[in-house]
Amino acid sequence: MEEQLLDKSVIETGEMVLNMGPQHPSTHGVLRLKIHTDGEVVSKIEPIIGYLHRCFEKHCEKLSYEQIVPFTDRCDYLASMHMDHAYSLAVEKLLDIELPERVEYIRVIISELQRIASHLVAVGTFGLDVGAITPFTWTIRDRERVLDLFEALCGARLLYNYIWPGGVSHDLPPKFLERTIEFLEYFDPQIDELNNLLTTNKIFIERTADVGVLPPEVGINYGVTGPSLRGSGVNFDLRKNEPYSVYPNFDFDVPLGEGIMGTLGDSWDRYYVRVLEMRESAKIIRQAIEQLPDGDVHAALPKKVRPNAGEVYGRYESARGDVGFYIISNGKNIPLRVKMRSPAFCNLSVLSEISEGWMISDIIAILGSLDIVLGEIDR
Amino acid sequence: MTSIFDSLQITFSGLNLDLMIVLPAIALMGGTVIFLLMAVNALVAVYFERKVSAFMQDRLGPMEVGILGFKGGKRFWGGIGQTLADAIKLLVKEDILPNDADRVLMILAPFIIFTGAFLTFIGLPFAENLVISDFNIGVFYIVAMSSVGVIGIILAGWSSNNKWSLYGAMRAAAQIISYEIPIGLSLLLVVLVAGSLNFGDIVQWQADNRWFIFHSPFSFLAFFIFFISIVAETNRTPFDIPEAESELVAGWMTEYSGFRWALFFLSEYANMLIVSIVASTVFLGGWLSPLQMFNVLPEAWLFLDGPTLGLFWVFLKAIILIFVMMWFRWTFPRLRVDQLMYLCWKVFIPFGLANLFFISLWELLF
């Protein structure tokens, strides 16, 4: 074997297996891709996951309902608020409690801010994947402002543990709403600037339009959700289709891919849907701030979460798609089983389907456009 | 045009030394000057690039490291010693050679790339009479020497025994060889008009007539083909597919570290300087002052046109071109391999050939 390896006189001309990751600049974490290539062209691609597996679901069987919240933070670390919110919604459904209006509005404001922050990272790193470095630093700069707001809110910048079953940990700090409005005023022109620099750039369009086309039926079959599915023109957003919290009170659109620059459902569409969603989120935040009622945020917070025996499935539209928490309770303060539906996992599963026949550079672009977070895939 | 080599030889001839001593001594002096120029260029250009990128990206760039207690000012000159510190770090870094690498080739490769850049400087004019050795075929020599580096790149990629390196090397080979052609075609156009391959003669022609970029619409187009091609030739974004940090980790440089990697870096920035100086000499009038084009200045200001400031004008033009290359890098995404080849073979080469034909007609008619 050793001799065979060292024998350099034999040059193979067949398929080459390329091992991309787990340590690679563009796999967005610790994803490993086994790529079969013929020259630059990829004939087969096999994602291998599990490098970030932390036994989230097993841990949940040993922890009380409140103690699980910090663990959900660590699933999708780019949209921790969404995970908290999704989990809390499921537990509240199980408890069957009514929340004060103020809590719901605060949650919506925070979730939409989180959506902006998460999409900023997605859009920036997608630019980075196709070689544009400057848009990334710009989006990170803007995300910093959202993180500053969250820091004022709960003291943490990445893993918040803010939204709890039954409420939120603190009421809004003074001046928070003013600062949020200030951020939104600042943020709107930034999107235009990003569009000028990246979205409409000729090279960027060449690299992403028509690349990695996800036909709507394939996306639905694979269970792709979120902006990745909406990029294919499928109008599916849980905030509209199965409204939770106070989302019915707001007027907002669901941006869909239209194939403006190429085919419907290409990487550019998936990217652009995220850009448009940031504007929609800003719209929702403005409305929520206007309608924000007074009240006590801790009113519904149960002293001890001890739901009756039963099971529940809660769905939530996170920045990456449809997050589901399936919780079985046996009447104790510790859940019997918690199962999480990870949107990024389903989104990643479609990668091998849509990226065959493209080049290595395109694989990176397609992967970036699916916007995966490995913490959530591996759990 | 007398070269440095010639003038040194004349100086030494007064000493009545053996030619076998004089020639190596002159060559050594010339070589030292080139090496120092390359090193200083890399230090300054890296600092410049970092600051340019920092200001484009809404950051400050290096701000902490100083030289001899001088830390620089608050804004632009901050962290002036950063690249010097980086260079020292690279020199003392552990030297890593992978186990299965081809050791001889892997050690050899950086030196071949370095040699390519180094040899190019010999024929490069910095000002009137300020060229190490004045060739009759200067343009041809530089085009030939600047493609020596590709051998080193292929060796580096192959010998590293790493798949990413191999990909990078193959991409680099295809890219650099392809983009030689539009570069050659654009330079040929200038040679055709000026009737000489000598840089001195080409600049003299521009002094007698006008800068090449303004000579005709075709030479204007040729400048842009040339400039975009040299960006590709030096492997800079948007044509940096051989390095393609987000795809190929670091391309053909993946397995290199320490001093050997520093040599790659040195050569990359040296190549940037070389191609910018060639572009400014051939198309932008070289050491001719831009003020010369407008006869509006009073007599007392005419010293700005003179040969004394030639070095300044050449470097000013080169630095502007280098800045534009940096601007590209921090603005554009990267092209894909096939798009890069498309641009070269289906856009630049047909346009370059047509250009050559039309400039011949132009010369015939006007």
A143 in B contact zone (CB under 8 Å): no
* pLDDT for residue A356: 82
Q: Which amino acid is at B279?
A: A
Contact call for residues A65 and A333 (beta carbons, < 8 A): yes
Q: A265-305: per-residue pLDDT in tens?
A: 888 988 999 999 998 999 899 999 988 888 877 776 777 77
Task: Name the residue type at position A130.
Answer: V
**Which residue among A25, A130, A141 sits closest to B58, beta carbon to beta carbon?**
A141
Q: Which residues of A touch B237 (CB under 8 A)?
A: 131
Average pLDDT, chain B: 82
Distance from CA of A367 to the nearest CA of B (A): 11
Dump pLDDT digits (tens) for B33-64.
888 888 888 888 888 888 888 888 888 888 77
Q: Which of A16, A40, A127 sits opposite B333 (nearest CB)?
A: A127
At A157 the three-state DSSP class reads coil
Beta strands in B155-216 (DSSP E): none
Q: What is the dihedral of CA B245, B247, B253, B255, to 10 degrees?
A: 120
The Cα–Cα gap between A36 and A258 comes to 32
Helix (H) or strand (E) holding A337, with range, is strand A337-341
Residue B299 counted as domain residue: yes
Question: CA of B322, closest CA in chain A: separation in Å?
Answer: 18
H helices present in A65-201, as ranges: 65-73, 80-95, 101-129, 134-154, 176-194
Supply the range of the domain harboring residue A334.
Answer: 55-354
Residue B206 lies in a domain: yes
Interface check for B62 against chain A (CB to CB < 8 A): the answer is no
For residue A372, which of A144, A98, A91, A51 has the smallest C-alpha distance?
Answer: A51
Does B336 contact A16 at a Cβ distance shorter than 8 Å?
A: no
B contacts of A138 (beta carbons < 8 Å): 57-58
Report the number of distinct structural domains present in chain B. 1
In degrees, rounded to 5, the angle at the alpha carbon of residue B260 between the alpha carbons of residues B256 and B264 is: 90
In a domain, B235, yes or no: yes
pLDDT digits (tens, 9 = 90+) for B119-168: 888 888 887 777 777 778 888 888 888 888 888 888 888 888 888 888 88
The reply to whether A357 touches chain B by the CB within 8 Å rule is no
Cβ pair B243, B251 in contact under 8 A: yes
How far is residue B281 from each of residues B2, B225, B302, measured CA to CA in Å? 17, 16, 21
Residue A5 maps to a domain: no
Considering the entire predicted model, what is its pTM? 0.85
Nearest-neighbour CA in chain A from B176: distance (Å): 17
Which pair of tokens denotes residue B273?
């300087």
Contact residues on chain B for A267, CB-CB shorter than 8 A = none
Do residues A251 and A303 make contact, with C-beta atoms less than 8 angstroms apart? no
Nearest chain A residue to B158, by CA: A8
Would you say residue A139 lies in a domain? yes
Residue A173 maps to a domain:
yes
Interface contact flag, A26 B247, Cβ < 8 Å: yes
Residue type, B147: S
C-beta separation of A206 from A332 below 8 A: no
CA-based nearest distance B55→chain A, Å: 10
What's the length of chain A? 379
Q: Give the one of B58, B248, B335 whose C-beta lies nearest to A137's C-beta.
A: B58
Q: Does A201 touch chain B (CB under 8 A)?
A: yes
- What is the structure's pLDDT at A1? 44
Tell me the three state secondary structure of residue B69.
coil
Across the interface, whether the CB atoms of B246 and A129 are under 8 A apart is answered: yes
CATH number of residue A150's parent domain: 1.10.645.10
Partner A contacted by B13 (CB < 8 A): no
Residue A318: inside a domain: yes
Q: How many A/B residue pairs have CB atoms within 8 Å?
A: 81
pLDDT band, very low/low/confident/very high, at B248 (cuts 50, 70, 90):
confident
Report yes or no on B94 lying in a domain: no
Of B56, B102, B247, the CB nearest to A361: B247
CA atoms of B88 and B297, how far apart (whole Å): 47
Interchain CB contact of B240 with A (< 8 Å): yes
- Residue B58 structure tokens: 């809404």
- Hey, are the CB atoms on A133 and B167 less than 8 Å from each other? no
Name chain A contacts of B337, Cβ cutoff 8 Å.
40, 359, 361
Residue A7 belongs to a domain: no
Determine contact: B253 vs chain A, CB below 8 A.
Answer: no
Question: Which residue, A270, A255, A276, A127, is CA-closest to A210?
Answer: A270
**B121/B133 Cα distance (integer angstroms):** 9
What is the Cα–Cα distance from B79 to B71, expressed in whole angstroms? 6
Judged by CB atoms closer than 8 Å, whether chains meet at A361 and B336 is answered as yes
| Whether A361 contacts chain B with CB within 8 A | yes
Q: Identify the weakest region by mean pLDDT among A142-151, A163-172, B237-246.
A: B237-246
Question: Which tokens go with B158?
Answer: 């192959």
Whether the Cβ atoms of residue A75 and residue A377 lie closer than 8 Å to each other: no
- pLDDT score recorded for residue B73: 66
- Shortest Cα–Cα distance, B345 to chain A (Å): 17
Q: Does A207 touch chain B (CB under 8 A)?
A: yes
Contact B298/A at CB under 8 A:
no
Which of A125, A129, A133 should we substitute to test contact with B (largest number of B Cβ atoms within 10 Å)?
A133
Q: Is B358 on the interface with A (CB under 8 A)?
A: no
Q: Give the pairing of strands A32-38 and A41-48.
A: antiparallel
Q: Is A8 on the interface with B (CB under 8 A)?
A: yes
Q: Which helix (H) or strand (E) holds B308?
A: none
Q: Which of A26, A129, A131 is the closest to B237 by Cβ?
A: A131
Domain membership flag for residue A110 = yes
Nearest chain A CA: its distance from B161 CA (Å): 10
B352 reaches A (C-beta below 8 A): no
Cis peptide before A307 (omega within 30 of 0): no
Query: What residues in A contact B247, CB-CB < 8 Å?
Result: 26, 360-361, 364
Segment among A289-303, B176-190, B217-231 with least mean pLDDT: A289-303
Cα A145 from Cα A327, distance rounded (Å): 35
User: What domain range is B112 assigned to?
Assistant: 99-365
Q: Do A138 and B337 touch (CB under 8 A)?
A: no
Chain B residues in contact with A198 (beta carbon < 8 A): 333
Task: Please give the tally of structural domains in chain A.
Answer: 1
**Residue type for position A150:** F
User: For residue A90, is it within any domain?
Assistant: yes
User: Would B316 be classed as within a structural domain?
Assistant: yes
Q: CA of A188, closest CA in chain B: separation in Å?
A: 18
Whether the ω angle into residue A174 lies within 30 degrees of 0, i.e. cis, is no
Contact indicator for A51, A378 with CB cutoff of 8 Å: yes
pLDDT band at A120 (very low <50, low <70, confident <90, very high): very high
Q: Say whether residue B117 is in contact with chain A using an 8 A CB cutoff.
A: no
Which residues in chain A are contacts of B56 at CB distance < 8 A?
Answer: 134
Q: Is residue B87 included in any domain, yes or no?
A: no
When pLDDT is cut at 50, 70 and 90, the band that residue A117 belongs to is very high
A295-347: pLDDT as tens digits = 877 776 777 778 888 888 988 888 888 899 999 988 888 888 889 888 989 88
Residues 17-46 in A contacting B (C-alpha not used; CB under 8 Å): 18-19, 24-26, 40
Residue B307 domain-assigned? yes
Q: Is residue A328 part of a domain?
A: yes
Provide the 3-class DSSP secondary structure of residue A90: helix
Burial of A96 (0-12, 13-18, 19+ CB in 10 A): exposed
Tell me: ipTM over 0.85.
Answer: no
Instruction: Let me know if residue B145 belongs to a domain.
Output: yes
Does the beta-carbon distance from B335 to A207 stay under 8 Å?
A: yes
Average pLDDT over residues B276-303: 74
Residues A43-85 have pLDDT tens digits of 888 888 888 888 888 888 888 888 888 888 888 888 888 988 9
Contacts of B335 in chain A (CB under 8 A): 203, 206-207
Q: Is A132 on the interface with B (CB under 8 A)?
A: yes
Q: What is the pLDDT of residue B75?
A: 65
Q: Judge whether residue A182 has pLDDT over 60.
A: yes
- In percent, the amount of chain A with pLDDT more than 70 equals 96
d(CA A301, CA A66): 11
C-alpha distances out from residue A319 to A154, A176, B68, Å: 21, 23, 51
Chain B residue numbers with beta carbons less than 8 Å from the beta carbon of A16 are 163
CB count within 10 Å of CB B113 equals 27
Name residues 146-175 of chain B within 8 A of A (Cβ): 163, 167
What pLDDT sits at residue B267?
86
Give the residues across from A34 on adjacent strands: A19, A46
Distance CA B82, CA B63 (A): 8
